[in-house]
Each structure stands twice: as C-alpha cells, then as structure tokens.
Amino acid sequence: MKNEHGHILVVDDHKTNRLKLSLGLKQQGHTVALAENGQQALDMLRAESFDVVLLDIIMPELDGYQVLEQMKSDSKLRDIPVIMVSAVEEIESVVRCIEMGAEDYLPKSFDPVLLKARLGACLEKKKLRDLERAYLQQEVMLRQSEKLATLGKLSAGMAHELNNPAAAAQRGAGQLQAAVAQLQQAYLTMSEVSLSHAQLDSLRAFDQQAQERAEQPFDQDTLARSDREHELETWLVDRGIENGWEFAPVLVGLGTDAGELGSVAEDFTDSQFPAVITWLSCTYTIYSLLEEIGHGAGRIAEIVKALKTYSYMDQAPIQSVNVHEGLDNTLVMLRSKLREGITVRREYAEDLPKIQAYGSELNQVWTNIIDNAVDAMNGQGELVLRTRQEDGWVVVEIEDNGPGIPDEAQANIFDPFFTTKSPGEGTGLGLNISHNIIVQKHGGEIGVRSAPGKTCFEIRLPINSETAENA
C-alpha cells in the first residue's frame, strides 16, 4: 500500500497516552494535534481540517461515544474517519462505536505496525471519499450552471414581455376600485331622483352601448378627439355638471357627442341629468377597465403557454418533435431580443419529418445559437433559419451576417467556459451545452462554417434514432 501521510487529531485525557501516540505518528511522517477532552476535540475539528481522529472512549464529561455521536450528526465532520483507541477489556464498547460509524479500532498497547496499517487504510479511504465528493460537487455545479445559463437568456426577455401586460392589469385593478366607488355614489343619487320606466329603458340602452364600445373601442384621430372632448366639456359645464372635464374624455370614448347628449337631456329633469351623466361615465369606465385587465391577463396567459410549449412541460422527455415548431417557439421566447434591427428569414423544407428527440433540450440548442447570432450581429442584421432532410437526417442551419468567428477561436467555441464576451455577458457555456445535447443525447452532429459576414451553424439530427443516451 502506498504510504499516505495525514493530519491526525489524537483525543485522550491521559497525557502519557497522548504523547506516546503522537510520537509514534510523527515518526511515521504524520502531523499531529492533541486534544485532552471531548469538547476540545470537537472545537478543534470545527476549526481545522483533519484526515483522521484517534479517539479514546473513556474520558470525563464528553466521552468518546458522545464525541462520535456529535461528529456523525454534523455534516461537516461526518466524513472524517474515526479510529477508536481502547483497552482490550473494552471490546464491547468498540463494537458499539463501530456500529455508530467509527471506522476501526486500535488497542491501547501501542503497536507501530498495526498503527501504520490501520491508519494507512483509513487515509486511503478518506482520500477516495474526498475525491468522490469533489467530483459530485463539480458535477452538480456544472448541471446548475447549464440550467442557469439557458434560463438567464430567457428570463431577461420574459420579464420584459410579461411586465407590460402585468403592469396594465395592475393599474386597471387600482383604477377600477375608484370607479366602482363613484358608481355606487351615482346609484345612490339616482335613487333619490326617482326615474320613470321610460327613463330606465334609455339607461339600459346606454349600458348596452357602453359594454359594446368597451369591447371594441374605435380608433379616433387624436386631434379630432381632443376637439370633441373640448366641445363636450364646455357643453357639460354649461349644464351645471361640475366634473365635466373628467367625464368628457370618457363620454367621447363611448362615442357620444354634445348633440346626442342634448337629446338625452330632454328625457331627464335638471336634477336627474348630472346623476345620469355620472352613472354613464362610470359604467363605461368600468367596462373599459375590465376589458383592459382581461386583455393584460390574456396576454400573460399567452406568454405562459408559449413557455410551456417551449419547455415541453407536462410531456415525456423524448417525443416526436416537429423541429419547425421548436424553432418558431424559440423565436417567440426571444422576441424581445429580436425585435429591433434583426430580420428573420425562415427557409423551412416542406414535409420535414418529425424526429424522435428531447424537445425541450433541442429548444435550448436553438436558443443558445440564435442568442449568439443576435449578440454577434450587435442587434442589426439578418438571421436565416433553414431546414432540410438529407438521407436519414434532419439538417438545421442557423446563419447570421455578423462579423464571423476568427479561425483561431473556431477550434475552441464548443469548449466549456470559452467566451469572448465580458463577464456578465457570457459564461461560455451556451455552445458546450448545445454540443452535449446534440452529440451525446441525440447522436447528432454540430459544426460551424464562418467567415466575416457569414456564420452558419449546422446541426444534423438522426430521424429515427433511439436517442443516443438510451441506445
């Protein structure tokens, strides 16, 4: 066995035992720290990192069992191997310690050969365990950064897309509260000026008109509209309606004007008319706000639905994938990034067959490549998405007319963490993730041809593969 050296903690309440062990360990090349009681041992373990603990069982206050127990319940100390040091007559206690998770034991009668053999085995195990843990941690971090990398690209755009309708709905709900309170007031006032059946019928007709108009507001020329508002406001104020300035824009939106309201006014008395105007204005405002809120919520639902199709949520991981749908959904998800200055040309093959694939992973690939293309074109240029069938393959090309990838970089672009972007703009994982998804998961191929003014990523996916990982 290879001779491992370690940093060893010796815990014993007897000074002679401590020194004897310490000497023996030092002679074998280890470094040693000493603790004279259980509590001191735990404090040292938490402050410093040790490879092995040699632990006496019988000690005053905190004994060996308790130290062992506390170590095993502490995730930071759990994996440090513990060798119990015991007198021969304590054999039953040793069994108990091993059941509690101690690695091994040594008799108190100090034997350098035995010490070397047991310690060597322990250190070797500890080293393997540390390696395993480091590997797992790295693996977890890599998976996490992969997920975050794609998520980051989408979430900025998504936040932007969701923000407008959400803000509109929220604003609408706030205004609705005030409008409903005003409507209640109008009702109370109207009940005081008791209306006839005929008058109520004309209000019902207005209610209907308000509902319809709110659903389909008409497009009015801004200048003409403001003229009409001004005219109506003057007319209302002349009729003694104080809030004329507040009601005029609403009533113009409803499509009425001074002429129409003049004939309505004839049906009501002077004391009834202001209440009727308030009621009419509030009613239309409320219908319009409801419409606005509904519209905002509907837009949010639409975006969430696109996100669901994009991510193939609620679906089996491998399915029959329509590549064109995936590309189109990706364009929807990246809409805010593509909006200005980028034209997208789609040259899709007719009758492109569906392929057996991991749909959401493929969408990650399209996202990463399109994201890079848009970055490269710096917001100005043309993006071409091309598909074709070739023998047993579906071929997808994503092309941009940006500055291209320098020859010396082309060999590295698929390496993890290779990036030419400044920190915060790129992690260098996009193409590495894409490569893994296409090559490892699908048994496909991914490559690039690039020159200034034309960069084309070509992805080839087998149509009828058992996807590679399952093959």
Ligand X SMILES: Nc1ncnc2c1ncn2[C@@H]1O[C@H](COP(=O)(O)OP(=O)(O)OP(=O)(O)O)[C@@H](O)[C@H]1O
Among 430, 438, 442, 467, binds ligand X (CB under 6 A): 430
Closest among 99, 93, 54, 94 to 72, alpha carbons compared: 99
Stretch that binds Mg ion, among 67-75, 154-162, 294-302, 367-375 (CB under 5 A): 367-375
Q: Is 430 in the site for Mg ion (CB under 5 A)?
A: yes
Coil vs helix vs strand at 86: strand
Contact 50, 9 (CB under 8 A): yes
The nearest distance, CB 343 to ligand X, in angstroms, is 16
Among 4, 56, 292, 400, binds ligand X (CB under 6 A): 400
Among 373, 394, 438, 459, binds ligand X (CB under 6 A): 373
What lies within 8 Å, CB to CB, of 70 at 6+ separation is 42, 77
Among 86, 256, 367, 372, binds ligand X (CB under 6 A): 372
Q: Is 81 in the site for Mg ion (CB under 5 A)?
A: no
x/- letters, 133..172, toward ligand X (CB under 6 A): ----------------x-----------------------
Residue 261: other Cβ atoms inside 10 A: 18
Q: Based on CB atoms, which residue is closest to ligand X, 56 or 400? A: 400
Q: Is 455 in the site for ligand X (CB under 6 A)?
A: yes
Q: How far is CA 192 from the centre of its chain?
A: 57
Contact 267, 188 (CB under 8 A): no
Q: Is 402 in the site for Mg ion (CB under 5 A)?
A: no
What are the backbone angles phi and psi of residue 18, rounded to the nearest 5°? -55, -50
CA atoms of 232 and 142, how far apart (whole Å): 66
The nearest distance, CB 431 to ligand X, in angstroms, is 3
Query: Which DSSP string corresponds to 280-298?
Result: HHHHHHHHHHHHHHHHHHH
Q: Based on CB atoms, which residue is closest to ligand X, 320 or 417? A: 417
Q: Based on CB atoms, which residue is closest to Mg ion, 62 or 376? A: 376
Residue type, 381: G
Q: Contacts with ligand X in 229-248 (CB under 6 A)?
A: none
The nearest distance, CB 426 to ligand X, in angstroms, is 3
Q: Is 368 in the site for ligand X (CB under 6 A)?
A: yes
CA atoms of 418 and 427, how far apart (whole Å): 8
The number of residues that bind ligand X (CB under 6 A) is 22
Q: Based on CB atoms, which residue is closest to ligand X, 226 or 440? A: 440
Contact 419, 428 (CB under 8 A): yes
Which of ligand X, Mg ion, none does 182 bind, CB closer than 5 to 8 A by kind?
none
Residue type, 178: A
Contact 112, 28 (CB under 8 A): yes
Q: Is 419 in the site for ligand X (CB under 6 A)?
A: yes
The nearest distance, CB 144 to ligand X, in angstroms, is 13
Sign of CA dihedral 65, 69, 70, 71: positive
According to DSSP, the β-strands at 104-107 and 393-400 are unpaired
Which of Mg ion, ligand X, none does 255 bind, CB closer than 5 to 8 A by kind?
none
Contact 54, 93 (CB under 8 A): no
Which positions touch Mg ion (CB under 5 A)? 372, 430
Which positions touch ligand X (CB under 6 A)? 149, 368, 372-373, 376, 400, 402, 404-405, 413, 418-421, 426-432, 455
